[in-house]
């Protein structure tokens, strides 16, 4: 009887770009020795659409519908950063009510994003049930978005100097009801997942990042906070009106996939706290800065008449960007989302550089998966939380 020869050479495997758990069109070229990962090379660019170049020949208001296509699960944040830049360049003040509405929308968007991270992450490591559960709550958030903005995913809601439309009648009560319901939902997730021995077996001590490594790699968001560093731009930069609410930065010190899961679960609870405070304290007044929108060019146009002023979402007057440069950032669900903006005294930006959190957090993947098992790649990649729309731009 001939014994089959055991081959010693390494095997190179393609994971993606259409592997069901690749979260988009990411391709990994993985070098394996049996089940052990020797090397891993991510290949990007399958979803590149030239978003930075498109910005250079659009006015800000024309560009707003494009930006929701970067991170298409946390669309409010991409809109926020797109209007925050020109607002800071032009030193435009935002009415208090508009700022509160923005905070409410941003935090709802954060919850929606974390939910759609949680479901597929659990499905990747073999738990199907949470994947169906998260869509219940997420659907309710999208109903709230649809009532306020007219759209479920790509809202086109933020404007320079405020928001496009005020909250409709009864929206605040509906949102408060959602907050009460969602807190019971989180308890259900924690019962189902957090102490589950199979889940813990898959995520504990997998993909460990120390605090020093996290800083050196430029990680941000839950990836950074799970490594023991309390850094949250909502506290650091105090943008919008986050400093008026009572909430805590959520962090863990272990730095593994479990810590990243715990940070995101706790962040959803904190978001609910912020939303409830904002809904209860929301002031009256205008929802946009009407001084900015004075149409100087046409003084007595019939479009400025009373009957026409309240028809629909208002268009923005063309807004000139001053000749200077600026970096603005917000704390998106995945990390620090930033824009480096160079104005040129024209209505188009001269340069519009996007700093996506997912792209920079993804850099550490090859280092994390080396010397791990093949099955751990999905756990680690899932815990990083990437969206290829913003990685490739």
Query: Is residue 47 situated within a structural domain?
Result: yes
Closest CA to 321 of 52, 61, 32, 46: 61
pLDDT of 7 reads 66
* Distance from C-alpha of 63 to C-alpha of 339, rounded to nearest angstrom: 14
pLDDT of 9 reads 82
pLDDT of 237 reads 86
pTM: 0.88
Query: Is residue 353 situated within a structural domain?
Result: yes
pLDDT of 36 reads 87
> Is residue 295 over pLDDT 70?
no
Q: What is the 3-state secondary structure (H, E, C) of 328-368?
A: EEEEECCEEEEEEEECCCECCCCEEEEECHHHHHHCCHHHH
Residue 303 banded pLDDT, cuts 50, 70, 90: low
* Distance from C-alpha of 342 to C-alpha of 311, rounded to nearest angstrom: 34
Cβ 83 vs Cβ 160: under 8 Å: yes
pLDDT digits 0-9 by tens, 233-292: 888 888 888 888 898 888 888 888 899 999 999 999 999 999 999 999 888 887 877 644
* Distance from C-alpha of 207 to C-alpha of 370, rounded to nearest angstrom: 10
DSSP at 193: I
pLDDT digits 0-9 by tens, 116-145: 999 889 988 888 888 898 998 899 999 999
Mean pLDDT of the chain: 85
Residue 317 C-alpha from the chain's centroid:
28
Closest CA to 225 of 188, 252, 262, 202: 252
- Residues 6+ positions from 269 with CB-CB distance below 8 Å: 183, 186
Query: Is residue 144 situated within a structural domain?
Result: yes
Query: Is residue 272 situated within a structural domain?
Result: yes
Cβ 332 vs Cβ 72: under 8 Å: no
Query: Residue range 156-174: average pLDDT?
Result: 89
pLDDT of 93 reads 83
> Is residue 297 over pLDDT 50?
no
> Is residue 198 over pLDDT 70?
yes
* Distance from C-alpha of 113 to C-alpha of 122, rounded to nearest angstrom: 15
**Residue 245 belongs to domain spanning:** 9-292+314-390
Query: Is residue 305 situated within a structural domain?
Result: no
Structure tokens at 315: 């268009």
Closest CA to 219 of 235, 205, 231: 231
- Domain of residue 184, CATH code: 1.10.645.10
Q: Domain count of the chain?
A: 1
Cβ 253 vs Cβ 230: under 8 Å: no
Query: Is residue 94 situated within a structural domain?
Result: yes
pLDDT digits 0-9 by tens, 330-378: 999 999 999 998 888 888 889 889 999 989 998 898 888 888 888 888 8
């Amino acid at each position: 009887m001939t014994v089959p020869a055991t081959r010693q050479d390494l095997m190179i495997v393609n994971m993606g770009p259409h592997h069901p758990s690749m979260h988009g069109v990411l391709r990994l070229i993985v070098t394996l020795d049996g089940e052990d990962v020797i090397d891993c090379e991510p290949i990007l660019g399958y979803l590149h659409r030239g978003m930075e170049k498109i910005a250079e020949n659009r006015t800000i208001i024309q560009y707003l519908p494009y930006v929701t296509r970067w991170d298409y699960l946390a669309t409010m944040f991409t809109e926020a950063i797109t209007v925050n830049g020109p607002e800071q360049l032009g030193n435009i003040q935002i009415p208090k009510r508009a700022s509160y509405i923005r905070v409410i929308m941003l935090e709802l968007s954060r919850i929606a994003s974390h939910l759609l991270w949680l479901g597929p992450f659990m499905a990747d490591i073999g738990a199907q049930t949470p994947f169906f559960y998260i869509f219940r709550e997420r659907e309710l958030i999208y109903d709230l978005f649809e009532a306020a903005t007219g759209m479920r995913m790509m809202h086109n809601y933020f404007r320079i100097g405020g928001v496009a439309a005020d909250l409709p009648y009864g929206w605040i009560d509906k949102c408060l009801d959602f907050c009460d319901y969602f807190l019971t939902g989180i308890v259900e997730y924690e019962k189902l997942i957090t102490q589950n021995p199979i889940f813990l077996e898959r995520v504990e001590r997998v993909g460990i990042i120390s605090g020093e490594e996290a800083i050196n790699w430029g990680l941000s968001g839950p990836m950074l906070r799970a490594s023991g560093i309390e850094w949250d731009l909502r506290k650091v930069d105090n943008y919008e009106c986050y400093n008026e609410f009572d909430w805590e930065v959520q962090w863990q010190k272990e730095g593994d996939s479990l810590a990243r899961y715990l940070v995101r679960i706790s962040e959803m609870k904190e978001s609910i706290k912020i939303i409830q405070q904002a809904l209860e304290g929301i002031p009256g007044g205008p929802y946009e800065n009407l001084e900015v929108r004075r149409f100087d060019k046409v003084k007595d146009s019939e479009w400025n008449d009373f009957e026409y002023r309240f028809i629909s979402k208002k268009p923005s007057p063309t807004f000139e960007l001053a000749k200077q440069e600026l970096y603005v950032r917000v704390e998106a669900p995945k990390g620090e989302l930033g824009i480096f903006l160079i104005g040129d005294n024209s209505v188009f930006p001269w340069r519009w550089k996007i700093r996506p959190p997912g792209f920079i957090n993804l850099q550490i993947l090859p280092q994390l998966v080396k010397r791990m098992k093949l099955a751990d790649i999905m756990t680690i990649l899932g815990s990083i939380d990437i969206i290829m729309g913003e990685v490739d731009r």
